[in-house]
Amino acid sequence: MKLTLNEDQLMLQASARDFCQEKAPVSVLRRLRDEKDPLGYDPTLWKQMSELGWTGMAIPEAYGGYAFGYGGLGVILEETGRTLLASPLISTVVIGATAITLGGSEEQKSSLLPAIVSGGLTLALALEESGFHNPAKTACEARASGDGYALSGNKVFVLDGHIADKLIVVARTSSQPGDEHGLSLFLVDKDADGLEVQRRWMVDSRNAAAVMLNNVKVNEDALLGEVDQGFELLDRVLDVARIGLGAEMLGSIQQVFEGTVEYLQQRMQFGVPIGAFQALQHRAADMYSEIELCRSLVRAALNALDEQQEPKRIAQLASAAKAKVSDTFFTVSNEGIQMHGGIGMTDEFDMGFYLKRARVAQQTFGDAAFHRDRFASLQGF
Amino acid sequence: MASLDEFRQSTRAWLEANCPPSMRTPMPQDEVVWGGRNAKFKNPDSKVWLERMAAKGWTTPTWPSEYGGGGLSKAEAMVLQEEMARIGARTPLNSFGISMLGPVLLQYGTEEQKQEHIPKIIRGEIRWCQGYSEPGAGSDLASLGTKAIRDGDYFVVNGQKVWTSYADKSDWIFCLVRTDFEAPKHKGISFLLFDMASPGVSTKPIQLISGASPFCETFFDDVKVPAKNLLGDLNDGWTIAKRLLQHERTMISGFGLSGSRPGKAMPLEEVARQYHNDGDRLSDPVLRDRIAQFKIDAEAFALTSRRSAEEAKESEGPSATSSVLKYYGTELNKRRMELLLQAMGTQSLGWEGDGFEDSELDTTRGWLRSKGNSIEGGTSEIQLNVIAKRVLELPDIMNFVGKKK
Ligand SMILES: Cc1cc2nc3c(=O)[nH]c(=O)nc-3n(C[C@H](O)[C@H](O)[C@H](O)COP(=O)(O)OP(=O)(O)OC[C@H]3O[C@@H](n4cnc5c(N)ncnc54)[C@H](O)[C@@H]3O)c2cc1C
């Protein structure tokens, strides 16, 4: 597969860009933040996104999807990253639909996937238990109980947790925290007895929640994938999430960078545009180079998903992309503020939203250090 | 040295007797004392503490005692600082009057100006703000356009400043204005002092990315300023402006000490231990390495600040090396805040509400605020330019391409 966009993808990019710039500019996120919107996203926009087919991008046609592939979804995510569009796209479509497609029973697929495509079902992955990404350390416990399981434990940083109709809960059915073996995934209804979801107000004004499970009873059919074998499925789903988030971050990075270069051309000091100063030129040129590298990694990783390459190869690309994009977002978001001077520090200007988003996205599904370590392990060193 | 020892003993005894116990605890942001006509003392002890310290002149230990300062030598001031640190005593008064204006008033002010303003700075009675930056004049400060036209015994000031920290809470402003419109840009600037309550002054707060609103747009519409409020000579304000910047930069460079000063903030390694449930040795080798790297730099920086203060002649104060300290100190502080985020994980990414400790939310907002450190008081790029030109005496490209105005 080519590393450049094909004609269909280019058309998709143009329409996604129009939609995001016109319907969902940063001012939408600003309004959600300022009004402390209880949902933290705009359901009307979400409905329009599903009407555009975005929710079915990577879902097989057999289940109502459009099989446009992850390459197409990546193009869209990049555009949503440009305007910091807050929506359940990553939690529901990138993570939820992928988990069901890869791990779900026939029954689960046919009942849930079409509902995702139509925009009628939102999902969230309840995984993290501390402030640091470490899936194998999961301690939340799932005890066999009657015909099913009883889940108990606490989850944090559950993206879109408080607006999800169903949670995908990662829990331990055997072995000890730290072991990859012994994890299982469960689909849990938002109003299950013993389940409490509390919204958290994050610095990037995006949705996250804490989830408390107190002896939450689920039937056998709530199990997603094989019992005790959940880590492998989870890791594959997480790799898709890392790549998808990487695409979104790439969009944000490009937006910040382009805005900054524009400012370098406009802002006059000492009788010249500040972009005339080599001290700034070289840093801009350096960022440009890094962004080009990010673009290649993200594109290669998306292609690898569509080509259904070996999970190990996908994992390497996912970690490479997430590490690189995280580092680049760090640099570009800092430089975006610094190169704008005083104006960059004001809330009225959008730059701060990208800086805040950068740090949250950097830590989501593993930060750069996590992924360099994982990359090394995957490469056998 | 015997007298210095005696000084230490008497200082220690005085502090023991006079520093209220609550003034020996770490200072929350909202208890910082800025003074002024509308001074706020959230903790009543901080008023007592300010009054006691001001009576001794120890809000400004080295300023001359004839204006109410402490009259201490540099060595004695160091002892006072050490003794205050020993019991964790809070700084009794923070102000731009102390860190920026006072030193240049003492250097360039007339006797009358010193008598009028210095004691009020020392006692925290008047709060000052800095009217330097304008929308079109940031790094290129000398291109400022706020006008002051002489009219009898007054200057009439018109124009706009921006990013004026605490303009809405300040009583007086030290303000750069243009008084000669024909001369080269550095030669037509004057340094005025005036009351923010003067008719025609208005302010509009600007919100920062951290959520706080500490700075303002400041507008001047036919503001009448008595001519006696000119500091230094007419059209020679740039000399004073630059001198004040050196003091400001030295002050801002102090941010770089927050990582190494005991008792100021929880050490990074302690934060990392808490959030990672580690014993003595940190379990994350990457974080451990970065923290070690930071702490080495922080210690080297603290030593360099001290050495630079020792080298500065008693009478002369800071020099172009203030740019080295400002640059390094602020970059260091930004690094410290980023490391805190890394050490605390997603608990450092909250904005408000349940699920986050106050100290965690303070970290998030402090991290955002720290991004301004390398912009305020002259950006990092400008400090590097000063080092390259003034310290290294490297050539200025503007002299070769004929762009210089
Ligand atoms: C938190 C905060 C508080 C402040 N408080 C005050 C205050 O109380 N009073 C006051 O007067 N001002 C205050 N300022 C303003 C501050 O001094 C200016 O923001 C600063 O001087 C930069 O000016 P600018 O914002 O116009 O940026 P610009 O000068 O437009 O700079 C934009 C970018 O260009 C770079 N640049 C400019 N010239 C060069 C060059 N020659 N070579 C290389 N790079 C260059 C800058 O470094 C920066 O990265 C404050 C600023 C902040 C952030």
Task: Tally Cβ neighbours within 10 Å of residue A181.
Answer: 15
Question: What residues in B contact A355, CB-CB < 8 Å?
Answer: 209, 368, 371
pLDDT at B258: 76
User: Per residue, what are the HEC states of A89-112?
Assistant: HHHHHHHHHHHHHHHCCHHHHHHH
Whether B404 has a pLDDT exceeding 50, the answer reads no
- In the structure, how many helices (H) and strands (E) does chain A have? 11, 10
Centroid of chain to Cα B201: 24
Whether B1 has a pLDDT exceeding 80, the answer reads no
pLDDT tens digits for range B326-371 = 999 999 999 999 999 999 999 999 999 999 999 999 999 999 999 9
CATH of the domain at A129: 2.40.110.10
CA distance B120 to B261: 30
What fold does the segment set B23-123 form as a domain? Butyryl-Coa Dehydrogenase, subunit A; domain 1 (1.10.540)
Q: Is residue A199 part of a domain?
A: yes
CA distance A57 to A55: 6
Q: A239 with A335, same domain? A: yes
Residue keyed to tokens 């469960």: A186
Report the sign of the C-alpha dihedral through residues B346, B356, A337, B254, in that order: negative
Half-sphere exposure of B24 (CA within 13 A, CB side): 12
Centroid of chain to Cα B153: 33
Q: Is residue A110 part of a domain?
A: yes
CB within 8 A of A20, min separation 6: which ones? A79, A80, A82, A83, A85
Question: What residues in B contact A348, CB-CB < 8 Å?
Answer: 206-207
Whether A361 has a pLDDT exceeding 70, the answer reads yes
CA distance A207 to A205: 7
Please tell me the total count of domains within chain A. 3
A29, A30, A37, A132: best to mutate for the B interface, most B CBs within 10 A: A132
CA distance B366 to B264: 14
Domain span at A78: 7-121
Cβ within 8 Å, pair A338-B371: yes
Q: Which atom of ligand 1 is nearest to the CA of B141?
A: 21
CATH of the domain at A105: 1.10.540.10
Q: Which atom of ligand 1 is nearest to the CA of B129?
A: 8
Q: A252 with A177, same domain? A: no
Torsion of the alpha carbons at B92, B30, B376 and B340, rounded to the nearest 10: 110
Q: A96 with A140, same domain? A: no
Q: A265 with A353, same domain? A: yes
Give the tokens for residue A322.
Answer: 């997430």
B346, B352, B357, B364: best to mutate for the A interface, most A CBs within 10 A: B346
Question: Are the C-beta atoms of residues B305 and B330 closer than 8 Å to each other?
Answer: no
CA distance A120 to A380: 43
pLDDT at A65: 95
Domain end position, chosen among A89, A121, A153? A121
Give the tokens for residue B145.
Answer: 């356009």
**Maximum Cα interatomic distance, chain B, rounded to a whole number of Å:** 73
B138 lines ligand 1 (CB under 6 A): yes
Question: Are the C-beta atoms of residues B174 and B214 closer than 8 Å to each other?
Answer: no
Cβ within 8 Å, pair A198-B403: no
Whether B315 has a pLDDT exceeding 60, the answer reads no
Whether B397 has a pLDDT exceeding 90, the answer reads no
Half-sphere exposure of B172 (CA within 13 A, CB side): 24
In chain B, which among 342-371 make CB contacts under 8 A with chain A? 342, 344-356, 364, 368, 371
Q: Is residue A112 part of a domain?
A: yes
Q: Is residue A1 part of a domain?
A: no
Cβ within 8 Å, pair B207-A347: yes
> Which one-letter DSSP state was computed for residue B20?
-
Of B76, B83, B134, B248, the catalytic one is B248
Tell me the mean pLDDT in the region B113-125: 98
B109 three-state secondary structure: coil
Q: Where are the domain boundaries for CATH 1.10.540.10 in chain B?
A: 23-123
Closest-approach residue (CA) in chain B for A337: B371
ipTM over 0.95: yes
Closest-approach residue (CA) in chain A for B379: A341
Per-residue confidence band for B401, with pLDDT thresholds at 50, 70 and 90: confident
Q: A82 with A199, same domain? A: no
Question: What residues in B contact A346, CB-CB < 8 Å?
Answer: 206-209
Question: Are the C-beta atoms of residues A122 and A92 closer than 8 Å to each other?
Answer: yes
Tell me the mean pLDDT in the region A147-164: 98
- The partner residues of A213 in beta bridges, in order of sequence, read A153, A195
In angstroms, what separates the C-alpha of B375 from chain A's closest C-alpha? Answer: 6
Q: In A218-232, which positions are buried (b, 16+ CB within 10 angstroms) versus exposed (e)?
A: beeebbbbebebbbb
Q: A242 with A195, same domain? A: no
In chain B, which among 96-115 make CB contacts under 8 A with chain A? none
Per-residue confidence band for B243, with pLDDT thresholds at 50, 70 and 90: very high
pLDDT at A71: 96
B161, B204, B209, B360: best to mutate for the A interface, most A CBs within 10 A: B209
Helical spans, DSSP H, in A267-350: 278-306, 311-340
Return the closest-CA partner of residue B371 out of B329, B333, B340, B328.
B333
pLDDT at A106: 97
Whether B133 has a pLDDT exceeding 80, the answer reads yes
- Closest C-alpha residue for ligand 1 atom 1: B372
Give the tokens for residue A371.
Answer: 């992924």
CATH of the domain at A303: 1.20.140.10
Mean pLDDT of chain B: 94
Best residue for ligand 1 mutational test, from A264, A272, A280 (most atoms within 8 Å of Cβ) = A280
Pairing of strands A123-126, A166-172: parallel
Q: A253 with A274, same domain? A: yes
CB within 8 A of B111, min separation 6: which ones? none
In angstroms, what separates the C-alpha of B11 from chain A's closest C-alpha? Answer: 42
- The reply to whether B165 touches chain A by the CB within 8 Å rule is no
Q: A104 with A133, same domain? A: no
Question: Are the C-beta atoms of residues A290 and A328 closer than 8 Å to each other?
Answer: yes
Per-residue confidence band for B320, with pLDDT thresholds at 50, 70 and 90: confident
Give the tokens for residue B71.
Answer: 């009259």
Question: Are the C-beta atoms of residues B403 and B270 closer than 8 Å to each other?
Answer: no
Torsion of the alpha carbons at A220, A224, A228 and A233, rounded to the nearest 10: 170
Tell me the mean pLDDT in the region B111-136: 98
Among the partner-chain residues B284, B341, B353, the one whose CB lies closest to the CB of A201 is B353
Question: What residues in A contact B139, CB-CB < 8 Å?
Answer: 269-270, 274, 341
Tell me the mean pLDDT in the region B286-310: 94
- The reply to whether B287 touches chain A by the CB within 8 Å rule is yes
Cβ within 8 Å, pair B355-A355: no
- Is B248 catalytic? The answer is yes
Classify domain B128-239 at the CATH superfamily level: Butyryl-CoA Dehydrogenase, subunit A, domain 2 (2.40.110.10)
Q: A242 with A371, same domain? A: yes
Q: Which atom of ligand 1 is nearest to the CA of A267?
A: 30
Per-residue confidence band for A1, with pLDDT thresholds at 50, 70 and 90: confident
Q: A35 with A107, same domain? A: yes
pLDDT tens digits for range B160-194 = 999 999 999 999 999 999 999 999 999 999 999 99
- Closest C-alpha residue for ligand 1 atom 13: B163
CATH classification (class only), B254-395:
mainly alpha
Closest-approach residue (CA) in chain B for A331: B338
Q: Is residue A18 part of a domain?
A: yes
pLDDT tens digits for range B29-47 = 889 999 999 999 999 999 9
Q: A238 with A368, same domain? A: yes
pLDDT at B402: 61
pLDDT tens digits for range A290-326 = 999 999 999 999 999 999 999 999 999 999 999 999 9
- The reply to whether B384 touches chain A by the CB within 8 Å rule is yes
Q: Which atom of ligand 1 is nearest to the CA of B133?
A: 11
Question: Are the C-beta atoms of residues A21 and A83 closer than 8 Å to each other?
Answer: yes
Return the closest-CA partner of residue B221 out of B195, B200, B198.
B200
- The reply to whether B263 touches chain A by the CB within 8 Å rule is no
Best residue for ligand 1 mutational test, from B129, B173, B379 (most atoms within 8 Å of Cβ) = B379
Q: A246 with A287, same domain? A: yes
B351 three-state secondary structure: strand
Best residue for ligand 1 mutational test, from B162, B163, B244 (most atoms within 8 Å of Cβ) = B163
Among the partner-chain residues A270, A345, A373, the one whose CB lies closest to the CB of B375 is A345
| N-to-C CA span, chain B | 53
Would you list the DSSP string of A113-152? HHHHHTT---EEEE---SSS--GGG---EEEEETTEEEEE
Question: Are the C-beta atoms of residues A305 and A70 closer than 8 Å to each other?
Answer: yes
A–B interface: beta-carbon pairs under 8 A? 116
Per-residue confidence band for B403, with pLDDT thresholds at 50, 70 and 90: low
- The reply to whether A268 touches chain B by the CB within 8 Å rule is yes
- Distances in Å between the Cα of A145 and the Cα atoms of A47, A142, A148, A217, B255 are 39, 9, 5, 8, 57
